[in-house]
Amino acid sequence: METVKSICPFCGVGCGVELYVESSTIIRLSPVKEHVVSRGHLCGKGTLAYEPIFAWDRLTYPLKKVKGEHIRISWEIAIKEIASKLKEIIQQYGSDAIAFYGGCQNTLEEDYLMQKLARAMGTNNIDSCARVCHDPSATALKEMVGIGASSVSVEMIPRMKVVVITGESITESHPVLSQYLTEAKKNGTKLIVIDPRVTGTAKFSDLHLRLRPGTDIALFNAVGNYLIENSLIDEKFIKERVIGFEEYAKGVSKYTLEYAEKVTGVRKENIKKFAELIAQKGVIFSWGLGLTQSSGVNGVRAYINLALLTGNIGKNGGLLVFRGQTNVQGSGDLLKPDKFPNGTMDEENAKKLAEIWNFLPPTKPGLSVTEALLRDNNIRAIIFMGFNPLISLPNREKVERKLKSLDLLVVIDAFMTETASLAHYVLPAAVWAEKEGSVTNLDRLAKWRFKAIDPPGEAKPDYEILKKLAEELGYNFSSDPKEIFEEMKKVVPLYSNLTLDEIMDYSSSSRYPNHEIYLYDEKFYTETNKAKLILVEQPEVKNGIILITVRNVTRYNTDVITGRIPGYGKYESLIYVSQEDALELKIRDNEEVLVTSECGKMNFRVMISKDVQKGTAIMYMHDPKVNYIICDELDEITKTPKYKYTEIKIMKLN
């Protein structure tokens, strides 16, 4: 029996796994004991991650839609026809009529190749799932401290006095990180959870601020004001290393504790407790989608301000973003419609890229995936690689209309997803264990996945598919992951120090020498080398019942993969409501109700839960019906959907 090392294909923790291979089949999977982040642990779905690879309905040959039916075609014909259609569309409408989206479950090398192909064809219409989760985090981090990623590694958690967890459900979404919280608790670390819901993490926290959804900015600004008024800020740190203090202090002075209590619903004694706990050294400010998918980039800015005010950055603490998918940090680093992989989208960087690429990329910013599918535009062709937007984007009806209106829709996936079923061409992809390449986890750790088995039938790794398509279009790209990795290193400053030897090493000392477990101890990586406080205002709060969509530990995103783990079954459509609202609306447990929002309506079965706050309702985002109800309100700056902030009505059916 052979063993092969890899990284779990699901969440951004990036746990190390060892695959046991016999007769070209993976017969089991176990955790890599020495992996520096997962330390020999896996969650339930991680342990079963190899099962869906062998599902009976894997796509094994290319398909073309003819008279409404998908029929088998050869790779040669598929690639020829797609390339010729792309050329035709570009000729008729220009390069910006085509777009390439996806890549969070792909490797860095595949993402790199995808953006290179798009740019070779003259467009910056490229984007990834990072848009719909943590682009607000990456954007705020970049402008305020310099790099759009976590500033601390998870290893720092147990060394802290306080860990603040805002809008993140670790026990469901990043379960293997719970070990760090348990260790921290043993060391006496205080855990503060900020979430409208009673989450698994909230249950063992020391302080749970159960705020109303969408009110984080009011809370953080009031805490900022309280810290300033009570001289609880780190004046030396601010003076030497931070800009924007005067304006910030003036702006937050109106955010009193009384105001914050009224808006957030959190008692002011608890807000004070929160402020006092973070006014010491040794604090990590961590967060998840509760912040980005409700308050957007301003929510993240308001939160980072607190780390800067208290000087909790560097060896004292820092900022930890619980990024979502296995390679979402990497996809966010590489696939942006308004940034080149080597930095700002300008002539100078374009010329630098041309020296390596032998073609000059365009400098006109492209469209994000949310703009492409939810706003008016001239896009006529989209290639999705590992993305199921018909289910995962908000306002499903609108997305469906756009997808159906395209002249060319190509989906590269391992399964016939709902999005693929609409496609003109479906190309069968190899999945993680059937290919090799690197992925970057939520604390900036890149690791190489080794190939364990061959893909089924005619399925191919995305890097081979992209190479074939590029070749047909007249570009000579490498499809060797190691060669692509070396080219990527030359282009992407963030990855320039990595070596293949280091990222292939799974031993316990495998944080490479230049991987600091905390950044910014001496300087920030902004232009001035100083961090920036940014004043933001709490917007008006929505009334009515707010629908929040969240994760369940056993399911993964649109459930394409986890739905194929034997015994897991399909997801049931449920709405969780509070006891108070159920009483007021006269609805009973298990009763079917009609849920309506501004953009859709749908029936759901009710579950009454004491963990749900009055005035909110919860649905699991894995349910394919959910995004009929969630509308397409987007963060103004990053265009990230407000998946956790939709006003709904719940009606009895009889």
Ligand X SMILES: Nc1nc2c(c(=O)[nH]1)N[C@H]1C(S)=C(S)[C@@H](COP(=O)(O)OP(=O)(O)OC[C@H]3O[C@@H](n4cnc5c(=O)[nH]c(N)nc54)[C@H](O)[C@@H]3O)O[C@H]1N2
Exposed e or buried b for every residue in 108-142, given b needs 16+ CB within 10 A?
Answer: bbbbbbbbbbbbbbbbbbbbbbbbbbbbbbbbbbe
Under the binding rule (CB under 6 A), the answer on residue 330 touching ligand X is no
Under the binding rule (CB under 5 A), the answer on residue 133 touching Mo ion is yes
Q: Which stretch binds Mo ion (CB under 5 A): 38-46, 128-136, 357-365, 409-417?
A: 128-136
Tally Cβ neighbours within 10 Å of residue 610: 9
With CB under 5 to 8 Å by kind, the binding choice for 194 among ligand X, ligand SF4, Mo ion, none is ligand X
Q: Of these, 213, 311, 563, 624, which contacts ligand X (CB under 6 A)? A: 213
3 state DSSP class of 593: strand
Q: How many residues belong to the site for ligand SF4 (CB under 6 A)?
A: 14
Under the binding rule (CB under 6 A), the answer on residue 7 touching ligand X is no
Q: Of these, 555, 593, 642, 650, which contacts ligand X (CB under 6 A)? A: 555
Under the binding rule (CB under 6 A), the answer on residue 561 touching ligand SF4 is no
3 state DSSP class of 186: helix
Closer residue to ligand X (CB): 106 or 349? 106
First to last CA, the chain: 61
Q: Of these, 62, 175, 341, 394, which contacts ligand SF4 (CB under 6 A)? A: 175
Q: Of these, 4, 14, 62, 309, which contacts ligand SF4 (CB under 6 A)? A: 14
Closer residue to ligand X (CB): 311 or 386? 386
Q: Which stretch binds ligand X (CB under 6 A): 74-82, 193-201, 259-267, 308-316?
A: 193-201
Q: Which stretch binds ligand X (CB under 6 A): 117-125, 137-145, 284-292, 347-355?
A: 284-292
Closer residue to ligand SF4 (CB): 45 or 644? 45
What span, in angstroms and rounded, lies between the C-alpha atoms of 176 and 238?
35
Under the binding rule (CB under 6 A), the answer on residue 11 touching ligand SF4 is yes
Q: Of these, 4, 7, 8, 11, which contacts ligand X (CB under 6 A)? A: 11
Residue 54 region, left (φ>0) first, then alpha (ψ -120 to 50), else beta? alpha
What span, in angstroms and rounded, lies between the C-alpha atoms of 87 and 381?
11
3 state DSSP class of 54: helix
With CB under 5 to 8 Å by kind, the binding choice for 8 among ligand X, Mo ion, ligand SF4, none is ligand SF4
Query: Who contacts 155 (Cβ-Cβ below 8 Å, separation ≥6)?
Result: 36, 37, 180, 517
| DSSP secondary structure letter of residue 305 | H
Under the binding rule (CB under 5 A), the answer on residue 167 touching Mo ion is no
Under the binding rule (CB under 6 A), the answer on residue 192 touching ligand X is no
Closer residue to Mo ion (CB): 552 or 596? 552
What span, in angstroms and rounded, lies between the C-alpha atoms of 530 and 528?
5
Alpha helices in 473-611 (DSSP H): 481-491, 500-503, 579-585
Q: Of these, 414, 459, 494, 517, which contacts ligand X (CB under 6 A)? A: 414
Q: Of these, 6, 221, 286, 294, which contacts ligand X (CB under 6 A)? A: 294
Q: Is-contact 594 606, C-beta < 8 A?
A: no
Under the binding rule (CB under 6 A), the answer on residue 386 touching ligand X is yes
Under the binding rule (CB under 6 A), the answer on residue 568 touching ligand X is no
- Cα-flanking dihedrals φ and ψ of residue 526, to 5°? -85, 175
Under the binding rule (CB under 6 A), the answer on residue 560 touching ligand X is yes
Q: Is-contact 640 136, C-beta < 8 A?
A: yes
With CB under 5 to 8 Å by kind, the binding choice for 631 among Mo ion, ligand X, ligand SF4, none is none
With CB under 5 to 8 Å by kind, the binding choice for 294 among ligand SF4, Mo ion, ligand X, none is ligand X
Under the binding rule (CB under 6 A), the answer on residue 189 touching ligand X is no
With CB under 5 to 8 Å by kind, the binding choice for 42 among Mo ion, ligand X, ligand SF4, none is ligand SF4
Q: Of these, 89, 126, 466, 548, which contacts ligand X (CB under 6 A)? A: 548
Determine what percent of the chain falls in helix, strand and coil, rounding each to the nearest 5.
35, 20, 45
Under the binding rule (CB under 6 A), the answer on residue 415 touching ligand X is yes
Under the binding rule (CB under 5 A), the answer on residue 330 touching Mo ion is no
Under the binding rule (CB under 6 A), the answer on residue 42 touching ligand X is no
Under the binding rule (CB under 6 A), the answer on residue 242 touching ligand X is no
What span, in angstroms and rounded, lies between the C-alpha atoms of 345 and 335?
12
Q: Of these, 4, 8, 99, 300, which contacts ligand SF4 (CB under 6 A)? A: 8
Exposed e or buried b for every residue in 475-506, given b needs 16+ CB within 10 A?
Answer: bebebebeebbebbbebbebbeebeeebbebb
3 state DSSP class of 462: helix
Q: Is-contact 531 145, C-beta < 8 A?
A: yes
Q: State the residue number with the nearest CB to ligand SF4.
A: 46
Residue 485: name the closest of 119, 111, 104, 127 by CA. 111
Residue 331 region, left (φ>0) first, then alpha (ψ -120 to 50), else beta? alpha
3 state DSSP class of 22: strand
Binding mask 111-130 for ligand X (x = CB under 6 A): ------------------x-
23-42 binders of ligand SF4 (CB under 6 A): 38, 42
Q: Of these, 630, 634, 648, 650, which contacts ligand X (CB under 6 A)? A: 630
Q: Of these, 146, 288, 456, 563, which contacts ligand X (CB under 6 A)? A: 288
What span, in angstroms and rounded, lies between the C-alpha atoms of 265 and 399?
35
Which residue has 């390449």 as its token pair? 437
441-470 binders of ligand X (CB under 6 A): 462
Q: What's the closest the beta carbon of residue 104 comes to ligand SF4, in angstroms? A: 13
Closer residue to Mo ion (CB): 10 or 112? 10
Q: In what helix (H) or strand (E) does residue 344 lie, and over which residues does it extend?
A: strand 343-344
Q: How many residues belong to the site for Mo ion (CB under 5 A)?
A: 2
Q: Is-contact 178 172, C-beta < 8 A?
A: no
With CB under 5 to 8 Å by kind, the binding choice for 549 among ligand X, ligand SF4, Mo ion, none is ligand X
- Cα-flanking dihedrals φ and ψ of residue 383, to 5°? -110, 120
Give pairs for 562-567: CB < 8 Å, separation 24+. Answer: 562/45, 562/52, 562/622, 564/51, 564/52, 564/55, 564/57, 564/415, 565/45, 565/48, 565/51, 565/52, 566/51
Q: Of these, 146, 158, 324, 456, which contacts Mo ion (CB under 5 A)? A: 324
Question: Alpha carbon 496 to chain centroid distance?
Answer: 23
Closer residue to ligand SF4 (CB): 46 or 318? 46
Residues that bind Mo ion (CB under 5 A): 133, 324
Residues that bind ligand SF4 (CB under 6 A): 8, 10-11, 13-15, 38, 42-43, 45-46, 174-176
Residues that bind ligand X (CB under 6 A): 11, 104-106, 129, 132-133, 166-169, 172-174, 194-197, 199, 213-214, 216, 288-291, 293-294, 322, 324-325, 385-389, 392, 412-415, 417, 429, 431-432, 462, 548-551, 553, 555-558, 560-561, 621, 626-627, 630, 643-644
